Amino acid sequence: MASTFYYDNSGFYTAPTADGTITLNSETGGTNFATSSSITNEHYIRDGSIANPITDVGSNDAIRFDFGADKTCRTAALHFNAAETGNITLWNSANATGAVTSVSAITDDFSAGWTVFGITPLPKRYYFFHANGNTISNLSELLFLNKFTLPVEPSVGLSENYEFGTKYQKAYGNNEYVKSSHKVGKIITLTLDFLSDTEATNVKNFAAIVTNRYPFFYSTDAYTGTICFVRLIDPIVFKEISPDLFSCTLTLREIVN
């Protein structure tokens, strides 16, 4: 068991994007990206929400992400709001247009929900999503991330609560009105004990990157464990429990829409 966070430490959430197409050059045999503007609502692809999909993704349409410098992202995640049978390829390149290099080709059918998997790219500035030879529907989030394995396993006191999304309002005459604002989501509280000074610093560095703004994944056992899409709710408070040994508690809210 290896509890893990998958998070953006490469600037993916703020990387400028551009629509385009990726096509095979019949003369050279190479695969090239060129800009265009066919995809709509492309901002949904990494807005930190899984409620709305990008639209009008035609065959061979693509989205480019500009990290500003060479980056290596070892994890990719896709969320579909409904089952999808199209093929997707992820690419990267040192150049904004022209030849691209395959990072991961995904040909399996996608179930509704998250698909999280490892990739092995070379460091490159530009990463690409590509609807490879088919249209794509229902894609509501795409993330390029990296892994942070927790330095110690959470203590036995790990807890899960549930946050209901129903609001009640009583009016005159005791009439009650009900409004659902969001789906039921988990609140996960986990405690890390007996952290060395270096391990505590690594947790602090992680928290400084994600803060309570950027979502990430919490997994109980890498790619094979239960995976939750979450945000930090509160700042992490560290306690020194003995000389140069620390404990801290992290509270995470599951993102359900």
**Residue 4 resides in a domain:** no
Kindly tell me if the per-residue pLDDT of 111 is higher than 60: yes
160 and 123, same domain (yes or no): no
41's tokens: 């609502």
Answer yes or no: is pLDDT of 167 > 80: no
DSSP 93-111: ESSSSEE-EEEEEE-SPBP
3 inside domain:
no
pLDDT in tens, 82-94: 999 889 999 999 9
Q: Torsion angle of alpha carbons 143, 148, 153, 155, nearest 10°?
A: -70
135 in the same domain as 39: yes
- pLDDT score recorded for residue 174: 63
- Is the pLDDT at 27 greater than 80, yes or no? no
pLDDT in tens, 125-160: 999 999 998 999 999 999 999 999 999 998 855 556
Residue 67 has pLDDT above 90, yes or no: yes
**Which residue range forms the structural domain that includes residue 87?**
10-145
Average pLDDT of every residue of the chain: 88
Q: Considering only CA atoms, which of 162, 65, 81 is closest in space to residue 114?
A: 81
pLDDT tens for each residue of 237-256: 899 999 999 999 999 999 98
Q: Please give the distance of CA 230 from its chain centroid, rounded to a whole number.
A: 9
Residue with tokens 């990739």: 119
- Report the CATH number at residue 250: 2.40.30
Out of 113, 145, 177, a domain closes at 145
Neighbours of 91 (CB within 10 A): 24
Other CB atoms within a 10 A radius of the CB of residue 201 amount to: 14
Burial class (CB in 10 A: 0-12, 13-18, 19+), 108: exposed
**pTM as predicted:** 0.86
What pLDDT, on the 0 to 100 scale, is given for residue 222?
A: 74
User: Looking at the structure, do residues 227 and 188 belong to the same domain, yes or no?
Assistant: yes
Residue 123 sits in the same domain as residue 164: no
The DSSP output letter for 234 is S
pLDDT at 236: 92
> In terms of domains, do 95 and 22 share one?
yes
Number of domains in the chain: 2
**Whose CA is closest to 127, among 69, 48, 52?**
69
